[in-house]
Structure 1
Amino acid sequence: MAGGELGAVFRVREFRVVWAAELLSIAGDQLARVALAVLVYGRTGSAAWAAATYALTFLPALLGGVLLSGLADRYRRREVMIGSDVLRAVLVAAMAIPHLPLWALCALLVMVVLLGSPHTAAQGALLPEILRGELYERGLAVRQITSQTAQLVGFASGGVLVAAISPSLALLANAVSFALSAVLVRTGVADRPRPGTTDGDDEAAADAPAGGLRGVVAALVEIATDPRRRALVLLAWLVGWYVVPEALAAPYADQLGAGPAVVGLLMAADPLGSVVGAWLFVRFVPAETRARLVGVLAVGAGLPLILCLFRPPLPLTLLLWGVSGMLSTAYLLQTQASFVRATPTVGRGRAIGVAASGIIAAQGAAVLIGGLLADTWDPSTAIAVAGSVGAVLALGVAVAWHRANRPDTETVGSTVLSRG
């Protein structure tokens, strides 16, 4: 069949190990988010403090992606993943100490999230070496499906588990998940040399791509001067407009005159669409066609949201948000795969970190703009505007992507992109 079986990736032992380790960490993280919300709100009685603590589980990833992702290119990627997991296990265990001051809890949380960035960069750079050819896209789809499912299950069951044990024990469970992840990676992933070397000598780390702000600037210049990667990363960043509905689920439900239960349904529409979209895209779309559909899917993801301007009934709204999530996930999977293939392995970790940080920043900016528009007008109008802006911008970048792939625009990046 066109897309092949997604289960084929599980025949690769190293992928099974990486996938299981990631799933453990995701489950632990979701449990910890619920535990932190309960812990902070119970201690302060402040919804603002609870919301701020929850935000700290995401926002530092932007800074970490910019400053720390270069570690995935300077050291062996397996060791970066193990070191990050071990340090996070220790820090999360410290967060479980009873009566820990709130400022210390928040400081530890920021460090935990920061350490996730080099782990993500190292894992993302290592995956194409584990899964060759079309297996890489299937692996991305499997990770998308399982991570979204784990998040849904984690949020649904996290409250029950935290109530059954305690927030401190839930945090300890998250620490254990990081420790188990480190053990899995240590025992199940091959110890490859540092990128650009044959023996992985530590002395060779001095020749690695620059880190810190200098490395970020260098990565941005490399991306900006490569027409293919420039178009791909811009398309990926535009996905921020398509997460606006999830952020406005509560006021949108209120606009419909619905209760809190509907908020959960609305927030689940996009993740459910993501699961379906990842499966359909890799299962039924031929590999040779996927890259050509990136622009079409990116534009299409915004169109269902425009219909929210007419305030459709709840069932139709859920369908529209689900379809938007399905299309946005499909195009994001392919932009990620094409971007990674177009990036030389030596600087791949840093480039992935910069691109991922851009996605986080774009989502934050789009959500902020969406919130301001919702206050100025109303939630349905804000969502429609977000969909319109996303679709229009995606159309312009899609044209650039098409031009970059014409035979007369061959670049070094295209040579890398063609390798399977």
Structure 2
Amino acid sequence: MMEDDSRDDSRRPRPLWRDRDFTVFWSAQTLSVAGDAFALIAVPLLVLHVTGSVAQMGLLTGLASAASVGAGVFAGLIVDRLDRRTVMICCDLARMVLYGLVPVAWHFGPRIWLLYVVLPVCEAVGMVFQVAYVTAVPGLVDGDRITEANGRLSATAAMTQVAGPPLAGVVAGWWGPTAAISVNAASFAVSAAGLCLIRFRRASGARPEPGTAWRELLAGARFLWRQPVLRALTVLLSFFIFLTLGMTDVLIYHVKHDLGRPDGSVGLILGVAAVGTVAGSLLVAPLRRGAGFGTSWMAAIAVSGTAVAAIGATDSFPIVAVAAAVYMACVTVAGISSMSLRQQVTPDHLLGRVTSAFWTIHYSLGPAGAAVLTWGAQRYGVLPVSLLAGVCCLLITLVAFFTPIRQPHPELAAE
């Protein structure tokens, strides 16, 4: 009996925290995400200190977003054609140098034009890194551990988003915004060093495909369309993002306008929502193991819709905070489940382009949805808008039940 138990133990996979390569990757990327929080605070402060103009910051943000979207079109092809670890290391080193230029230049006086160069380029490089990051996880852990790995990465990223901005504010207050940007530059150096210490289990960026470059760029979209589960997920999640991308703005408007709460309450409720993200990240792996993909994904969308409706249906600040946390937890469960499934069923040589295609399609309706949602909240009030969005989320769940999404293990059917 003891021999049988020892054999069972030997077949049992090691906990992720004992996997050296994943642990190094996890630690380095957590520090890198924390560094991003410093830039999130420091860059607007630099602009406001020099120009005093919110419009200038909006223009800079718009240029950076456009650069990110533009890079996303080609990011998948780059990631699929080159060694992914090398791509990520180069992206980290490039951002380290670019962000490092800002405090050096500011030492000789403000150079606002430099931000208009650095931020868009860094956002474009960051998009390439993010696509490579998604493709890296299947090369670090076994297929049945992908959801757990994504959950842990997401949980620690959410934790840094809770702690990072206040710490960045302290650094910027004591030593100035350029010091906070220096911290961000250093975080990319840590990320690059961590990537140098790990090995991926799968080869990447090797197999050329016949056809034109344009055909290769469309290969990710074609794969999504040919896979029944991924096709249904892409379509339904595109409508979901249309309904919910503006919810953070609606939530803030509700807290300030309808509840009459001070600015500190906005920070508090967003912090509580971030705790929901952490909870969803930690729960997604056991939920998917226990209930299967279809049930956990559909339940997450349904409960998130209920939470959206609850946000506008109450004037109680604690209930709104709890609803926001539940909403973020469910969005996290659905998002990680979807990403993990794409990583499991997509051939390694296509994963970069599939990721790029999914993000491009998924977010295509988002800006319009955010505009409609916020306009509706301003014109008709938060209650009817949140109720309508919540009901539509429940309809998405109903539609999903009649698609291949309902399968408990679609990753096995796709093999």
Deviations 1:114-149 (A, max 9, x none): 111221112211211211033211111101110111
Question: Structure 1 284/392 Cα, relative in aligned 2: closer, same or farther at 3 Å?
Answer: closer
Paired with 1:234 and 1:71, the residues of 2 have a C-alpha distance of 25
Cross-structure match for 1:225? 226
> Where in structure 2 are the equivalents of 1:115-134 lying within 5 Å?
115-134=125-144
* Range with greater deviation from structure 2 (65-74 or 372-381): 372-381
Paired with 1:308 and 1:75, the residues of 2 have a C-alpha distance of 45
For structure 1, list consecutive stretches of 5 or more residues without a partner in the other structure: 198-205, 408-412
SS at match of 1:302: helix
Paired with 2:17 and 2:163, the residues of 1 have a C-alpha distance of 22
Alpha-carbon distance, 1:62 to partner: 2.6
Any conservation in 1 of the 2:100–2:182 contact (CA below 8 Å)? Answer: yes
Paired with 2:14 and 2:382, the residues of 1 have a C-alpha distance of 40
Question: Structure 1 95/133 Cα, relative in aligned 2: closer, same or farther at 3 Å?
Answer: same
Cross-structure match for 2:398? 395
Cross-structure match for 1:353? 356
For structure 2, list consecutive stretches of 5 or more residues without a partner in the other structure: 1-11
Cross-structure match for 1:44? 51
Among 81, 87, 90, the residue aligned to 2:88: 81
Question: Structure 1 299/345 Cα, relative in aligned 2: closer, same or farther at 3 Å?
Answer: same
Paired with 1:249 and 1:132, the residues of 2 have a C-alpha distance of 39
Question: Structure 1 127/285 Cα, relative in aligned 2: closer, same or farther at 3 Å?
Answer: closer
Alpha-carbon distance, 1:239 to partner: 4.6
Question: Structure 1 71/79 Cα, relative in aligned 2: closer, same or farther at 3 Å?
Answer: same
Give the counterpart letter for 2:235 in structure 1: L
Question: Structure 1 35/83 Cα, relative in aligned 2: closer, same or farther at 3 Å?
Answer: same
SS at match of 1:301: helix
> Where in structure 2 are the equivalents of 1:218-297 lying within 5 Å?
218-240=219-241, 241-253=243-255, 254-283=257-286, 286-287=289-290, 289-297=292-300
Paired with 1:67 and 1:115, the residues of 2 have a C-alpha distance of 11
Cross-structure match for 1:62? 69
What is the number of equivalent residue pairs in this alignment? 399
Among 8, 25, 30, the residue aligned to 1:18: 25
Any conservation in 1 of the 2:229–2:404 contact (CA below 8 Å)? Answer: yes
Among 173, 176, 198, the residue aligned to 1:163: 173
Question: Structure 1 259/288 Cα, relative in aligned 2: closer, same or farther at 3 Å?
Answer: closer
SS at match of 1:315: helix
Percent identity over the alignment?
21
Alpha-carbon distance, 1:64 to partner: 2.0
- Are residues 1:176 and 2:186 paired? yes
Alpha-carbon distance, 1:324 to partner: 1.4
Alpha-carbon distance, 1:56 to partner: 5.5
Divergent runs of 4+, >6 A: none
Cross-structure match for 2:35? 28
Give the counterpart letter for 1:229 in structure 2: L
Question: Structure 1 262/7 Cα, relative in aligned 2: closer, same or farther at 3 Å?
Answer: farther
Paired with 1:7 and 1:81, the residues of 2 have a C-alpha distance of 26
SS at match of 1:368: helix
Paired with 2:13 and 2:68, the residues of 1 have a C-alpha distance of 29
Cross-structure match for 2:4? none
SS at match of 1:189: coil
| TM-score normalised by the chain length of structure 2 | 0.87
Paired with 2:370 and 2:76, the residues of 1 have a C-alpha distance of 25
Any conservation in 2 of the 1:239–1:328 contact (CA below 8 Å)? Answer: no
| TM-score normalised by the chain length of structure 1 | 0.86
Question: Structure 1 83/406 Cα, relative in aligned 2: closer, same or farther at 3 Å?
Answer: closer
Alpha-carbon distance, 1:271 to partner: 2.0
Paired with 1:380 and 1:218, the residues of 2 have a C-alpha distance of 42
SS at match of 1:312: coil
* Range with greater deviation from structure 2 (79-88 or 49-58): 49-58
Among 296, 299, 302, the residue aligned to 1:299: 302
Question: Structure 1 55/104 Cα, relative in aligned 2: closer, same or farther at 3 Å?
Answer: same
Alpha-carbon distance, 1:406 to partner: 9.9
Any conservation in 2 of the 1:304–1:323 contact (CA below 8 Å)? Answer: yes
Question: Structure 1 11/143 Cα, relative in aligned 2: closer, same or farther at 3 Å?
Answer: same
Alpha-carbon distance, 1:362 to partner: 4.2
Give the counterpart letter for 2:197 in structure 1: T
Give the counterpart letter for 1:27 in structure 2: A
Any conservation in 2 of the 1:236–1:335 contact (CA below 8 Å)? Answer: no
Alpha-carbon distance, 1:42 to partner: 0.9
Cross-structure match for 1:201? none
Cross-structure match for 2:6? none
* Range with greater deviation from structure 2 (301-310 or 314-323): 301-310
RMSD: 2.8
Give the counterpart letter for 1:277 in structure 2: G
Among 151, 154, 164, the residue aligned to 2:164: 154
